[in-house]
Chain A
Amino acid sequence: MIQDLLVYVVFMGYAIGVMLGIATLFTWVERKQSAIMADRIGANRAYIRIPFTNIKLVWMGLFHGIADGAKMLLKENFTPKTYDRFCFNLAPWLAAVPVLVVFAVIPFGGTIVPGDLIPALHDFFGSRSYTMQVANLDAGILVIMAISGIGILGTMLAGWSSNNKFSLLGAARAASQMISYEVSMGLAIICLVVTYGTLDLNQMVQWQSGTLFGFLPAWGIIVQPLGFILFLTAAIAENKRVPFDLPECESELVAGYFTEYSAMKMGLFMLSEFIEIVVVSALLVTLFLGGYNLPYMNDTGFVFPGGSTLAMSHLAVVVTQVVTFLVKVVLVGCFQIQIRWSLPRFRYDQLMRFGWKFLLPFAAVNLVVTACVRWLTL
């Protein structure tokens, strides 16, 4: 019992650390990547001076994240005279917490046997094994859908309780946008469930460690290419980032639903946006890109298409899986940032048309085709 507790506390710490760490990293990556894409240099002014010397550490602007955080924490928390103080204070938490919770069901590594990993702990742990995942739920994917749907409540509450027309408009846009895209996202996920035949994220990853036609890694992106595009689009729309940033478009709505927020409350919205990049990347990696496994890899080692195998020690497997997961998440996150800085924003009617008349039919067709193929091959 105490062993389980210990292991899960470690997992939780790791998950939160990874999310916040990578989210902070992404604030830097976003600045630098957009700068390099646009032939600029990027943020490079924040520095830390070594005390009593004149040496300024700039480190390519890495400290801008710290400067941001400090600024948001130290700024005056200006609140408008809202008529709903409770909702106003609740909204940032409702926006940030679900994003954090979603990560709980995402497996960031395969099975771990702490007793085998560290021989000194063998007596303590025995042969208990854990999947590297904070909450090992059978219906993980449903939990993700359910919880990420709560995030919109925070957005709507923020817009409503601010008593500001820009905020309200942003919130209304966010709500309608979320509903439109959650439908396609749900359909894309159902396709996956039909393909993998399970709701458990960990089993999905294990399914993807197999091969297709004997040589292709059976990743979701290969089995369900259309599903991948649909899910990616819907996920970016959920995240309210650029091609779909209607709820907070600066040119029309000041800052959209968080216009009236300042200091760390506004920081929570920003942070949750960046954490959501990480979570969406993790989801994409888990559902479509083979999760924590390299191609042809499973919990015991590599099984190459020719039939040759490469057994690996438990330690090597665990380390490879954890590192692979992180690398994949960062790469997919960079890809999202690339999308964010490449595409222009939709007009509102285009957004709705794109959601209902383009994505939804494609998702439905994809589902029908997937179901037929599955039925025939079963």
Chain B
Amino acid sequence: MKKEYWNKPTMGLWERLYIFEVIRGLCITGGVFFGNMWKWITFRKGALTAYYPEEIRSDYSPNNRGRHILTQRPNGEVQCVSCNMCATVCPAYCIEIQSTANFEDPFHPKAPDRFEIDYSRCIFCGFCVEACPEDAIRMSKDVPNLPGFDRTKMWAPQDLLMNWQPQRNPAKVYPSAQTSTQEVHP
């Protein structure tokens, strides 16, 4: 016995003849084609997709987790205290931190010497931002503009993370001079 399917299509004679429905489908795709073609010919963009690295989409969500920012203290020092929490929580193991001691500053004796993120491995999960006790790492809305042919060039060094000047400020404000001096050394 032939199995009856619950979602058996119900087709009338018109659909069964197939050819007319084919012509209708061709008209739809043809309409889209000529519509888009007209846009291209009149020097507008007839596509929904973007030329990715050259053209950055403007409609990223305000909550988009994009490239990382290492925040700075008012004096320009990096806020990170090199606690390694972000590197520990990172599921992609893509944060590399090398610490250095700074005995001049009793409040922040430890600071990163090298802080690098491998963007060829980062999955933009945002765990590093969650984990950081110092609010030292944040993610801006903009995507890292790092496509390239060489994966060694996809490492973002500390300099870049501190200074790549996001086009839009991240949602949270930077800690003001006041709040940052409030922390007390035990």
Task: Give A37 to B33 CA distance when docked, in angstroms.
Answer: 4
What B residues does A38 contact at CB under 8 A?
A: 32
Interchain CB contact under 8 A, B25 and A36:
no
List chain A residues, Cβ under 8 A from B22. Answer: 342-343
B32→A37 contact, CB < 8 A:
yes
Which bucket holds chain A's interface residue count?
A: 10 to 19
**Given contacts A33-B33, A229-B19, A358-B18, are A40 and B25 in contact (CB under 8 A)?**
no
Given known contacts A338-B29, A343-B22, A36 and B49 CB-to-CB distance under 8 angstroms: no
Residues of chain B contacted by A358 (CB below 8 angstroms): 18
Assess whether B26 is interfacial by the CB under 8 Å rule: yes
Contact A338 B37 (CB under 8 A): no
User: A-B contact count, CB below 8 Å?
Assistant: 43
The reply on A176 being an interface residue by CB < 8 A is no
Cβ–Cβ contact A341 & B29, under 8 A: yes
Let me know if A339 and B32 touch, CB within 8 A.
no
Q: Contacts A36-B37, A358-B18 given: A41-B29 contact, CB under 8 Å?
A: no
A350 nearest in chain B by CB position: B18
Nearest CB in chain B to that of A342: its residue: B29
Q: Do B18 and A39 touch across chains, with their CB atoms under 8 A apart?
A: no
- Can you list, as one digit per residue, whether each of B26-39 has a CB less than 8 Å from chain A (1) or not (0)? 10111011001100
Q: Which residues of chain B come closer than 8 Å to A229, judged between CB atoms? A: 19
Residues in B whose Cβ lies below 8 Å from that of A339 = 26
- Shortest beta-carbon distance from A147 to chain B in Å: 29
Q: Does A44 interact with chain B (Cβ within 8 Å)?
A: yes
Selected from B18, B28, B36, the residue in CB contact (under 8 A) with A36 is: B36
Closest to A362 in B: B19
> What 19 additional pairs, Cβ within 8 angstroms, besides A40-B49, A338-B33, A342-B22?
A33-B33, A35-B47, A36-B32, A36-B33, A36-B36, A37-B33, A37-B36, A38-B32, A39-B36, A39-B47, A41-B47, A44-B51, A338-B26, A338-B30, A339-B26, A342-B25, A342-B29, A343-B22, A354-B18
The interface of chain B, by Cβ under 8 A from chain A, is: 18-19, 22, 25-26, 28-30, 32-33, 36-37, 40, 46-49, 51
Please list 13 pairs of residues, one from A and one from B, whose beta carbons are closer than 8 Å in the complex, sorted by A's number: A33-B33, A36-B32, A36-B33, A36-B46, A36-B47, A37-B33, A40-B47, A40-B48, A338-B29, A338-B33, A341-B29, A342-B25, A342-B26
